[in-house]
């Protein structure tokens, strides 16, 4: 298990890079990660000022345990090169690039980061939000050791598919599954997309539970009211932790006694169940420590 996949990323909140008050407020929010945004939330006339502000925030050391990520403007925009160079020099935990569509683009991003002097600790985060990215998701995920996290851009994907936002996300299920397969095959973390209606708490929790059950590591969010439910739903439950302890203890006892078959609560236990239990306990311990 790599550090990139173990690090808790239950709640990953987008914060507008041009809003100084929002960036200050973010210092007290109980999120696992913050995405300081230079793209959708920033108007063209504010791009340069926002870039300076988020880079200063990333260098400030004022955000505690929270993972800090800077989202640049897209590769095909006039701001991307300057965003990437400035972010690389600021040295955040990650740099998130929108609409990454190929392994070649990942390698271009990595080369530009290295040329700008990015520290080794700054990872690439790639947004998966187009049909071609879904088709090439494993190639993208495996393109660089520096790439740590895939982020689903479900709003753009729905638009490009000419689909609809509906409860249960039936139009997106195939794409979500494909993205998860590509991420896991490459050993990378992957985050679910945003939920747009901040007033619909019930719908939001249902989508969090769906994402968790699919296997996502966490969810990108757009409002502080979404933090607590995301943290709760994507964390190992008390029941899961108790079960994980029982699986590991039963397996160790059976191994020491030379038994070939292990059962817990009537269910047969194999090595894969032990690995899952160890991952659950490691994640729970990391969350508790943070």
Q: Alpha helix (H) ranges present in 117-237?
A: 131-135, 137-141, 154-161, 173-186, 201-214, 227-234
Distances (CA, A) of 41 to 119, 185, 224, 258: 27, 32, 16, 60
Q: What is the model's pLDDT at position 260?
A: 67
Q: Which two tokens stand for residue 238?
A: 């008390």
- Residue 2: its pLDDT value, please? 43
264 backbone dihedrals φ, ψ, rounded to 5°: -130, 120
Q: In whole angstroms, give the CA distance from residue 162 to residue 137.
A: 20
Domain that holds residue 17: 3-234
Taking a C-beta distance cutoff of 8 angstroms, is the pair 101, 133 a contact? yes
> Which residues of the chain are under the pLDDT cut of 50?
1-3
Number of domains comprising the chain: 2
The pLDDT value given to residue 272: 87
| Co-location of 227 and 83 in the same domain | yes
Question: What is the longest distance spanned by two Cα atoms in the chain?
Answer: 70
How would you classify the pairing of strands 262-264 and 267-269? antiparallel
User: Which residue among 214, 234, 254 closes a domain?
Assistant: 234
* Predicted local confidence at residue 1, as pLDDT: 37
242 in the same domain as 226? no
Helical (H) or strand (E) element with 192:
strand 189-192
- 220 and 247: one domain? no
Joined tokens for residue 178: 């494909």
Q: Is 147 helix (H, G, I), strand (E, B) or coil?
A: strand
Q: Are residues 105 and 245 in the same domain?
A: no
Considering the domain architecture, whether residues 61 and 105 belong to the same structural domain is answered as yes
Predicted confidence at residue 250, as pLDDT, reads: 87
**26 lies in the same domain as 99:** yes
Q: What is the reported pLDDT for 6?
A: 76
**Rounded Cα gap, residues 149 and 153, in angstroms:** 13
């Amino acid at each position: 298990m790599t550090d990139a996949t173990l690090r808790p990323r239950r709640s990953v909140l987008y914060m507008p890079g041009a809003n100084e008050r929002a960036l200050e407020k973010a210092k007290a929010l109980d999120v696992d990660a913050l995405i300081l945004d230079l793209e959708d939330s920033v108007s063209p006339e504010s791009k340069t000022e926002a870039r300076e502000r988020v880079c200063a925030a990333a260098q400030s050391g004022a955000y505690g345990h929270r993972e800090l990520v800077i989202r640049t403007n897209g590769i095909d925009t006039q701001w991307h090169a300057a965003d990437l160079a400035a972010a690389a020099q600021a040295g955040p935990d990650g740099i998130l690039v929108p609409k990454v569509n190929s392994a070649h683009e990942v390698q271009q991003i990595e080369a530009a980061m290295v040329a700008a002097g990015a520290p080794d600790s700054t990872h690439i985060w790639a947004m998966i939000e187009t049909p071609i990215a879904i088709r090439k998701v494993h190639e993208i995920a495996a393109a660089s050791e520096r790439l740590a996290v895939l982020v689903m851009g479900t709003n753009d994907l729905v638009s490009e598919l000419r689909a609809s936002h509906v409860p249960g996300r039936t139009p997106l299920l195939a794409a979500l599954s494909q993205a998860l397969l590509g991420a896991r095959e490459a050993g990378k973390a992957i985050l679910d997309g945003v939920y747009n209606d901040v007033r619909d708490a019930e719908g939001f929790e249902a989508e969090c539970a769906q994402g968790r059950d699919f296997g996502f590591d966490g969810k990108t969010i757009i409002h502080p009211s979404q933090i607590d439910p995301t943290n709760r739903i994507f964390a190992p439950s008390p029941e899961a932790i108790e079960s994980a302890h029982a699986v590991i203890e039963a397996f160790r006892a059976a191994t020491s006694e030379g038994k070939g078959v292990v059962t817990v609560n009537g269910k047969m236990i194999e090595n894969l169940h032990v690995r899952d239990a160890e991952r659950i306990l490691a994640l729970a311990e990391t969350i508790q420590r943070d």
